[in-house]
Amino acid sequence: MYLLIDTYFSNIMEKDEIDSKTAMQNNWDFLVSKAEATRNELQGQQADFKMNLIRGIKALVIDVKDFRYNFETKGPTVAGLEPREALNRLRMFSDEYSIRKRKYDSYFAGETLFGLPHT
């Protein structure tokens, strides 16, 4: 808009508006340079983030296998448990499951972000 005004109606802007335009241009230039610096910094960190994601996924896969084994061998469906003990175990495993589910959701989003196949 200011380019059109400067080109065709350069004499109608007041000093306050010219000062505002200059300040806005300076702020815009600063914002663009800050965005470029941030982009370059994040590109440098991308490899580290991707490696940490892959490590975390591998650890989660092992953790889920252990969790499933523990659930099957020590969970609420073990024969001979009192109902109260079975309920306590169910709550405990439910809490542990929700932790793993949050990790899974986070890693799933990371795989999508990096364009990796979902594991």
Q: What is the C-alpha to C-alpha distance for residues 87 and 93, in angstroms, rounded to an integer? A: 10
Q: Which pLDDT value is given to residue 16?
A: 81
Closest CA to 71 of 103, 55, 93: 93
Show pLDDT as tens, one digit a residue, over the chain (119 residues).
Answer: 777 777 777 677 777 877 888 898 899 999 999 999 999 998 888 989 999 999 999 999 999 999 999 999 999 989 999 999 999 999 999 999 999 999 999 999 999 999 999 98
CB of 114 closer than 8 Å to CB of 53: yes
Residue appearing with tokens 């350069």: 10
Predicted pLDDT of residue 99: 96
Q: What is the C-alpha separation between 65 and 75, in angstroms, rounded? A: 14
| Residue 81 φ/ψ region, left for φ over 0, alpha for ψ in the -120 to 50 degree band, beta for the rest | beta
Judge contact between 111 and 118, C-beta under 8 A. yes
What pLDDT, on a 0 to 100 scale, did the predictor assign at position 73? 94
pLDDT for residue 7: 73
Domain boundaries, the chain: 47-119
Say if CB 64 and CB 107 are below 8 A apart: no
DSSP tag of 75: S
Q: Give per-residue pLDDT as tens, 72-91.
A: 999 998 999 999 999 999 99
